[in-house]
A and B are shown apart, each in its own frame.
Chain A
Amino acid sequence: MAANETHQAIETVFRIEQARLIGGLARMVRDVGLAEELAQDALVTALSEWPKTGVPNNPGAWLMAAAKRRAIDGFRRKKMLVRKHAEIGRDLENERDTSVEDVEAALDDDLGDELLGLIFTACHPVLSAEARAALTLRLIGGLTTDEIARAFLSNEATIAQRIVRAKKTLGNAGLTYAVPRGAERKERLASVLEVIYLIFNEGYAATTGENLIRPALCAEAQRLGRILAGLLPGEPEVLGLLSLMEIQASRLAARVAPDGSPILLTEQNRAYWDQLLIRRGLAALQRAEALGGANGPYALQAALAACHARARKAQDTDWQKIAGLYDTLRQVMPSPVVDLNRAVAHSMAFGPETGLSRLDEIDPAAGLHNYVPLPAARGDFLLRAGRLEEAKVEFKRAADLTRNAREKAFFLARAAACAG
């Protein structure tokens, strides 16, 4: 094998192993930043050793053993000034002579637990949502800071700083890096799901810039969702979120025209919908419902997405069922955005005038006045009700409000169409 091929193979191995490697090390040294450095050191060692010796049979265990050795060396150099470090160093030293097989067995035992612990740590509520997203993509997704920066349309220095700060905050918070149990678990899990969905949405609908979709972020979020569903098979909301993402992602190929403009759900060429993702999404939803989670916020949103996924043609959509699901979602997750979507569903199920009444019921104090989809929906209802002049005003308002260049062109085109 050529040297650069070996190099690439090693980097791929590392990409696959790094999350559980960092997870295991973080728990040991109680510091996620140090854990990441130790993992990187192990990669450097592998890059110099493996081209000579070949990739070992269990590369994960090898990397873990190499990282542990580095940890011990590091503690020795510091002459074990800190008592905590001394203790950990002693623990590690006792383990030092164990064979690779033992390490491997130990890794396998709590492999899931270590990865899960790392996910919960990276998504800890002490961090801002943006910091959680960046750290999760870095530590679990294995993205470089440059890749994360491009995904979030930010610059590398900003993201690097955000990650450094996040690691420092976690370091100062005195965390155990364990998987939370009991009552704490629910709250912490909500924080994890929020981050994964934030990453997904960042990819699904960019808020600024020319490029409407950054599918790599969606793929990353879906993978995180699948990993989490594998590690926590009994949590209905994990399955609900997974189902929601799989079904929404099934439309990625259909929702943007060749010129980059967005295509409405009802106008999409459903032949482009990814049926494998839809089947997986429906299966995940079924499991969530079987676990008694049908009324969870994510499961309800997944059920809504599933109504569209099941309709082969737009006119087959069961809008009555969708309207009913929004009535429930509104109770479970009250939000003006849900009210807006409910109005859209009611307009489809019971006519545009009903939709307009639902819009009028939305609390004006809810802060939706600068929210692009509101005038977009009102414009749409008015157009369907034959009130063209009023519709035109609303589409123009939507065009003025949006920061996405493609969306702006789209609403201007709709406004222009009202003239005829």
Chain B
Amino acid sequence: MRVMVIVKATKDSEDGIMPSTELLEAMGKYNEELVNAGIMMAGEGLHPSVKGKRIAFDGSSRTVIDGPFAETRELIAGFWLWEVKDMAEAVEWAKRCPNPMAGPSELEIRRVFEAADFGEAFTPELAEQEERLREKAAKR
């Protein structure tokens, strides 16, 4: 079962305060443990939302909203993708994470949809399109 573990943003992370050397070290060690346990599939940290954009959809209208975004608690600062046996295992590994932020902070675990969950609506053409875009995005 695949899960996304989301690191919630805090005021510090939104203010662009970089993690301390100690935290980077602890996170590095934690990531190594995740790799050695065979559950880590991917993971990234995100810049503060001041460098982000939002696109609001309503019918045919598309409105671009510049960051930063107000509701800090709902923003994300990073994520991992893990392959685990069940949710209990994901919870146990998440509890072992070093405090991701200096102050109080939160991780959120969500189950990832897999392609087959979408049924017949997901065609090879759609997948190809999606993958091309991913590749283009990766090259930038």
The interface of chain A, by Cβ under 8 A from chain B, is: 8-9, 12-13, 15-16, 112, 115, 219, 222-227, 230-231, 253-254, 269-276, 280, 312-313
Contacts and interface: CB of A to CB of B under 8 A. Distances in A.
B41 interface: yes
Main secondary structure, interface of A, reads helix
Contacts of A223: 38-39, 83
* A-B complex: 10 closest residue pairs judged by Cβ atoms: A271-B127, A226-B38, A253-B116, A223-B38, A230-B36, A227-B38, A12-B88, A312-B128, A230-B35, A12-B92
B114 A274 contact: yes
Contacts of B122: 271-272
Contacts, number: 77
B66 interface: no
Given A12-B92, A273-B115, A276-B41, A226 B131 contact: no
A82 B131 CA distance: 64
B135 to A, nearest CB: 10
A285 to B, nearest CB: 16
Given A112-B36, A230-B38, A275-B134, A12 B91 contact: yes
Contacts of B83: 219, 222-223
Interface of B: 2, 32, 35-39, 41-42, 81, 83, 85, 88-89, 91-93, 114-116, 122-128, 131, 134
A149 B126 CA distance: 40
A280 B38 CA distance: 13
Contacts of A254: 116
Nearest to A13: B92
Given A219-B83, A227-B37, A271 B42 contact: no
A286 to B, nearest CB: 14
A212 B97 CA distance: 38
A312 B83 CA distance: 25
A112 to B, nearest CB: 7
A270 B127 CA distance: 8
